[in-house]
Amino acid sequence: MMFYKMQSTKLSGIYRFFVTVFLMAGIVISTDSQTINFWLTNGDSQNYQLTSASKIQFLNGSLIFKNISTTPIQQIRKITFNTPTEAKEITALLPHPVLSPNPAKDYVIFSNLPAKEEIVSVYSITGAIILTSRISSSSNILDISMLNKGAYVVKTQNFSIRLIKL
């Protein structure tokens, strides 16, 4: 099996972003006839067909996928993926809401909410719903003063966050 490998001694800026995204997501290409395009800093481009089993990963500062070429990562200006229109699902990275302060005594403030408005539920560690509230970007404070001290789980539509009540 041959691999496409780009060597790099130090990643910075956009390259570090790609390393983070690829390592966190573990990108696996699952659509037939998909291509990956590398736009090099010298103006050239390289286009490769990916198979339905291709896996793209970063390993020790190198971008690796099945192929037979090698290009230093410093020479790459842009990477694009072309997906056919019959792709079944594209998953976007959602912003993860943040609670602060945490641990908290009387209230928590939500930031980075993915939607303009969210229904937020607070669960005990036994799974019982203790509190439900509507949170928005303009009204992002949740009063938790009535909760007993302890650990809770705060759930939004897509996320769960651990909360410690002091």
Please state the rounded mean pLDDT for residues 122-136.
90
The size of the chain, in residues, is: 166
Say what the pLDDT of residue 97 is.
81
Range list of H helices, the chain: 14-25
More confident residue, 131 or 80: 131
| Band of residue 113 on the pLDDT scale cut at 50, 70, 90 | confident
Q: Which domains does the chain have, with CATH numbers?
A: 3-82 (no CATH), 98-165 (2.60.40.10)
Q: Which of 46, 50, 56 is nearest to 32 (CA)?
A: 50
- Judged against a pLDDT cut of 70, whether residue 63 lies above it is answered with no
CA 110, chain centre distance (Å)? 19
Say what the pLDDT of residue 98 is.
85
- Name residues whose C-beta falls within 8 Å of residue 136's C-beta, 6 or more positions apart in sequence: 113, 116, 117, 118
Please state the rounded mean pLDDT for residues 33-49.
68
Say what the pLDDT of residue 65 is.
57
| Band of residue 6 on the pLDDT scale cut at 50, 70, 90 | very low
- Judged against a pLDDT cut of 60, whether residue 15 lies above it is answered with no
Phi-psi region of 116 (alpha: psi -120 to 50; beta: other; left: phi over 0): alpha
The helix/strand/coil state of 14 is helix
Say what the pLDDT of residue 25 is.
39
Mean pLDDT of the chain: 68
Range list of H helices, 39-82: none
